[in-house]
Structure 1
């Protein structure tokens, strides 16, 4: 007998790589609902066929979510059960679905999670970095200037930082992290987790950025980057930057003094200006 309740939105995690990571409850749920909303029906269908899941599929992705949400909520209010999945991992985590879940809750629809894999948490669990406090930043801006500006805002954060990054930008992002966070800050690249070519590299950012830049194989697949939170080495840079800033601000406008002090000391400009 199915455990699926009518008129509920089931938010179901799928494997991030290894198919055997699909939970029994997730498979049963997807077999029992009226329809499965997924990012790309062509991507999801092979996984579902592997588990003999014949439930109809409908596309719900970043380009059509606004238009599709109302229709899905109407079906839920009529008593149909709907499941939401993403291409891999837990829906909504750097994936579509936020608008649907928010609209469903606003309409009084019960939203039920079926937990499973999440690349960010999977990477954190094997990174060797502090896991008691962390922050998930998702994808950084694709443009270099905006990316570095965001990294500067995070440079003083004491928590472990977790990022997703595309394979064709991972080398550039690590180089920017080395410049903003400092060469000695510990970084981890977790790539192709649970897949055949899974690698987890842990090194100071100077070495990690150089290794990835020089090895095309480390620039392929799904990437998670983790950075140790602010430590003593960052505090030392800020202290030195503040000393330089105090000297320069007597002769220069504060913004320019902060920019020069940051360039000399390696401290985040925003921290000095504030």
Structure 2
């Protein structure tokens, strides 16, 4: 069954396949691993409308209006094909495009800034290896004043702290690997942390879940609180969930998280998934039952 699904995904353009007979370079291979750790950059493919792989156009609903994901294929006119290495680094770590415009923080550069430069360059190498698609980016439909890019410099002063994540010498190598994956590459906090009225993360509630998560979906509490989080999950449970989307009670995940697992996490080495589980299980438990507002 899995090979049938894979064939279908490649045929519809939802998974990229190298040209016949081509061998990916080491940088591209490393970059593909980083790509999977990000959850497969799923926001950049309009899956619902069967859009081309990484060509953008997917509407991302926020409390402030819709932001449309951009084309990150190597097309030189509508994608990132003409970007320099530094252009890519600036976008990923500072939220600034080659045209010096600020990016809205729906693009999680506040987490990607914690990635190492080498991982960022490897990710760029992978993205430049996929098929270019000429597809213009759609304008965002954010309400005033949230669509005003000039205000983002002040927002970044408040909420953006640049620089790669530093390891904690008091913790194990596995814990540090998990912290890097969860906080930087996988950017889990961007979805599983509630935001304030300005769209900034409520750091005191980090990973405690959000009612208005990405695309308007609930993002559950993933701190190890036993009543409202994942406190009764074992490390093996977390690994299995990230591989299959199946919860310990047998229920399966839905929505955006299922895409993240399908196109990203299930392709990661089990050792990395275990490191993520070890880190998540070490967090401070926060009591926060995430339910729909009308419940």
Relative to the length of structure 1, the TM-score reads: 0.25
Greater fraction of residues in strand: 1
The higher radius of gyration belongs to 1
